[in-house]
Structure 1
Amino acid sequence: MKIGEVARETGLSVKAIRYYHDIGLVAAPRGDNGYRSYGRVQLAQLQFVARCKALGFSLEQCATLLALNGSERRTAAEVKAMASEQLGQVRDKLDQLRSLERRLSGLVGGCPGGAGAQCSILDTLNGGVR
C-alpha cells in the first residue's frame, strides 16, 4: 500500500506517517524502487497510533501502548495506569480551561464595547495602567 492510501485510511498526514517511520514508531520496508511499502500490519499500527493521538497520548506514550498491544506479557493494569494518568491530565486541562473561560467571560461581560476608544479589556491586560 502506498503512503497516500495509508494516509487516507488512517486519517494521518503523509508527513506524520513519514515522521513515525523515521523515529521508528512504525516501520515499513522499502521496496526496490525506494518507496516504503505499507502492509496490513503497518496500517493497523498506524490506525492504533491515530486512535492514541486522538485521545491525547504523546508519541512516547503511543510507542509504549503499541509495544504493550503487541506483547503477550502485558497486563491490563499497565494499560489502565497509563490511561488513568492521561485521564488525570485531561481533567487538569479541563479545569484550566474552565478557569480561563471564567476569566475571559468576566472580561467580555465587563466591556460595554461601543464606538469609543476606552476598552476595559485592554485596561485589564495593561494591568490597569494606561
Structure 2
Amino acid sequence: MKIGDLSKATGVEVGTIRFYERAGLIDLPDRLPNGYRSYGPRHLESLAFVRHCRALDIPMADIRRLLDLATLPTEDCGNVNELVDEQIERVRARIKSLRALEKQLTVLRAKCTDHHQTNECGILSELVSAASGEACVCHP
C-alpha cells in the first residue's frame, strides 16, 4: 500500500508517518520500481503500536525502548513495567500541576463575578498587574 493508504488505515497523517520513519519508530518501506514507498502489514502493525503509545502520551524514546523489548519475547518484562511506572509518575505530576493551575484560575475568576465594563474587570486588572511584575491573586 502507498503512504496515503497507510495514513487512511491508521488515521495518522502522512507527515507524521514520515517523521516516525526518520525517528526509527517504524521501518523504512521498500521502494517500488516507480520510486513509491510500499507499506505492508508490518508497517500497519508498527504504526498502530506507536499510535497507541502516543495516545498514552508515552515519550518517543520510551516507545523506541518498548519496540526493542517487543522483539525479545523471552526477556523478563521488568523493563516494560518500569517504563510504564515512570509514565504513571509523569502523569501524576502533570495532574498535580493541572490541579494547581485550576486553583490559580479559580482564584483569578473570583476577582470578577459580575458583568462590568472591561476597565472595571478584576480579572483583567490582575493580569495587567502580573504583566507589570506585580503580585497577583493567582501568583502571590
How far apart are residue 113 of structure 1 and its match?
4.0
In structure 2, the partner of 1:61 is 62
**Which one-letter code corresponds to 1:97 in the other structure?**
L
8 Å contact kept, 1:111–1:119: yes
Matching of residue 91 in structure 1 with residue 92 in structure 2: yes
In structure 1, the partner of 2:138 is none
How far apart are residue 68 of structure 1 and its match?
0.9
In structure 2, the partner of 1:20 is 20
Segments of structure 2 that go 5 or more residues without pairing to the other structure are 136-140
2 CA distance for matches of 1:21 and 1:98?
Answer: 36
1 CA distance for matches of 2:49 and 2:66?
Answer: 9
Percent of residue pairs bearing the same amino acid type: 36
Matching of residue 107 in structure 1 with residue 114 in structure 2: no
How far apart are residue 61 of structure 1 and its match?
1.1
Segments of structure 1 that go 5 or more residues without pairing to the other structure are none
- More displaced stretch, 108-117 vs 79-88: 108-117
Q: TM-score, normalised by structure 2?
A: 0.83
**Which one-letter code corresponds to 1:21 in the other structure?**
E
**Which one-letter code corresponds to 1:40 in the other structure?**
P
SS in 1 for 2:31: coil
8 Å contact kept, 1:2–1:36: yes
Q: TM-score, normalised by structure 1?
A: 0.89
- More displaced stretch, 68-77 vs 101-110: 68-77
2 CA distance for matches of 1:98 and 1:74?
Answer: 39
How far apart are residue 53 of structure 1 and its match?
0.3
1 CA distance for matches of 2:36 and 2:68?
Answer: 25
In structure 1, the partner of 2:124 is 122
**Which one-letter code corresponds to 1:15 in the other structure?**
G
Post-superposition CA distance 1:53-99 (Å, at most 9, x none): 00001111111111111223432111010001001000100110011
2 CA distance for matches of 1:67 and 1:29?
Answer: 21
How far apart are residue 24 of structure 1 and its match?
2.3
CA RMSD of superposed structures (Å):
1.7
How far apart are residue 122 of structure 1 and its match?
2.4
SS in 1 for 2:33: coil
